[in-house]
Amino acid sequence: MPVSDCELTQMFEHVLTLSRVDATQSVAVLKSHYSDPRTVRAAMDAAQRLGAKVYAVELPSFNHPKAMGNDMTAYCGDTALTGNIAAQRALEAADLIVDTMMLLHSPEQEQILKTGTRILLAVEPPEVLARMLPTVADKERVLAAEQVLKAARSIQVKSRAGSDFRAQLGQYPSVTEYGFADEPGRWDHWPSGFLFSWPNEETAQGTLVIDVGDIVLPFKTYSREQITLEIDKGFIASIHGGFEAEYLRDYLKYFNDPEVYGISHIGWGLQPRAQWTAMGLHDKNDGMCMDARAFYGNFLFSTGPNTEVGGTRKTPCHLDIPLRRCDIYLDDQAVVLAGEVVAPEASRA
């Protein structure tokens, strides 16, 4: 059901309060012409209600010649902020940035975060923001799971569909998303609720099967047939299946870049209010489909860049693929079985 402007402002006030915005803070709202004007207005009104100093930074839209489609995750790297030092400095001056434009995977975002400025991405439709309004319990659930992931040195993923994947961990940090940015230099995304890390270089091995009903992003499609990915030394070595496998092969081939085949972040969903079915109720241009990334008990793996944690793969193509009904083991300890979170540190409560 539609969310009123009043409700949206109240929700932003809640999330900005969790993000430690008060009268001592400055808040910049980053926007472009495609930003949802209701989101921009609500963010500014809420920040003012909390007494913060508020300003907007508006940038022209940016479209790389090689980008396909309108999804904001379909091309990574360059943004409208690239090379715009004046705008970057204006954003670095804020304590918190509400990003309604999408800086994710850009070097400029990493540079801004290193100054201590916090960033909260908010690009989903208001109704999705409402359903997954973050709570302190969301943070506690994700941080408890993070302790398990940080201590792990290996991950194994199996499924009845045929997945049998393993990798070593520890070379790269763990990353959490719980829906608000409450620490200096923190980036987060409202809505969210999951965590992930990256495999040690050249250790990801085995098979990942995208089963019927699993989701491929940024295509925003439910798979109608199985797609089998064979992984060797951290990269997709082959893709088997029918038409959908052919489509995926051709999409990756289009970028003419061997780095697009690298296995990027891997983790699992911990947001009980996110729904696997929600994507089917939205137009493909409605946000990023965070339901798919965050729904409880998924195994989320991605392909492409890893520069945000100090890796060397800077590539524009990034896929996020959440799989259902998987078993996930960290150092032989089960954290998810058949798509249900079983680790006591990460319950739904």
Position 196 scores a pLDDT of 98
Question: 77 lies in which domain range?
Answer: 5-123
* C-beta separation of 179 from 15 below 8 A: yes
The backbone torsions φ and ψ at residue 168, rounded to the nearest 5 degrees and listed phi first, read: -90, 150
Domain boundary among 103, 123, 143: 123
* C-beta separation of 21 from 96 below 8 A: yes
Domain boundary among 96, 123, 150: 123
Rg (alpha carbons) of the chain, rounded to whole number: 19
Residues in the chain: 349
CA 263 from chain centre, in angstroms, equals 15
Q: Does residue 296 share a domain with residue 205?
A: yes
Tokens of 14: 């809640």
Residue type, 289: C
Q: Which residue has the tokens 């109704």?
A: 127
Position 29 scores a pLDDT of 98
Q: Does residue 178 share a domain with residue 58?
A: no
Domain membership flag for residue 156: yes
Q: Which residue has the tokens 């064979």?
A: 230
Domain membership flag for residue 217: yes
Domain membership flag for residue 283: yes
Domain membership flag for residue 196: yes
Q: Does residue 168 share a domain with residue 25?
A: no
Tokens of 141: 């659930």
Domain membership flag for residue 288: yes
What's the N-to-C CA distance of the chain in angstroms? 26
Peptide bond into 344 cis (omega under 30): no
Element (H, E) at 278: none
> What's the structural domain count of the chain?
2
Domain membership flag for residue 259: yes
Q: Which residues pair with 188 in a beta bridge?
A: 120
Q: Does residue 273 share a domain with residue 242?
A: yes
CA proximity to 194, closest of 306, 79, 47, 292: 292
Q: What's this model's pTM, rounded to 2 decimal places?
A: 0.96
Domain membership flag for residue 128: no
DSSP-based helix, strand, coil % in the chain, nearest 5: 30, 30, 45
Domain boundary among 123, 157, 187: 123
Q: How far apart are CA 78 and CA 346, in angstroms?
A: 36
Q: Does residue 35 share a domain with residue 95?
A: yes
Q: Which residues pair with 55 in a beta bridge?
A: 28
Q: Does residue 118 share a domain with residue 138?
A: no
Position 341 scores a pLDDT of 96
Q: Does residue 322 share a domain with residue 252?
A: yes
Q: Does residue 175 share a domain with residue 110?
A: no
Peptide bond into 37 cis (omega under 30): no
Q: Does residue 62 share a domain with residue 178?
A: no
Domain membership flag for residue 129: no
Q: Which residues pair with 187 in a beta bridge?
A: 119
Residue burial 71-94, b: 16+ Cβ < 10 Å; e: rest? bbbbbbbbbbbeebeebbebbbeb
Count the Cβ atoms, other than its own, within 10 Å of residue 66.
12
Residue type, 15: V
Q: Does residue 103 share a domain with residue 218?
A: no
What is the full per-residue pLDDT of the chain (349 aa) written as tens digits? 789 999 999 999 999 999 999 999 999 999 999 999 999 999 999 999 999 999 999 999 888 778 787 788 888 888 999 999 999 999 999 999 999 999 988 899 999 999 999 999 999 999 999 999 999 999 999 999 999 999 999 999 999 999 999 999 999 999 999 999 999 999 999 999 999 999 999 999 999 999 999 999 999 999 999 999 999 999 999 999 999 999 999 999 999 999 999 999 999 999 999 999 999 999 988 999 999 999 999 999 999 999 888 888 889 999 999 999 999 999 999 999 999 999 866 556 5
Q: Does residue 90 share a domain with residue 229?
A: no
Q: Does residue 97 share a domain with residue 145?
A: no
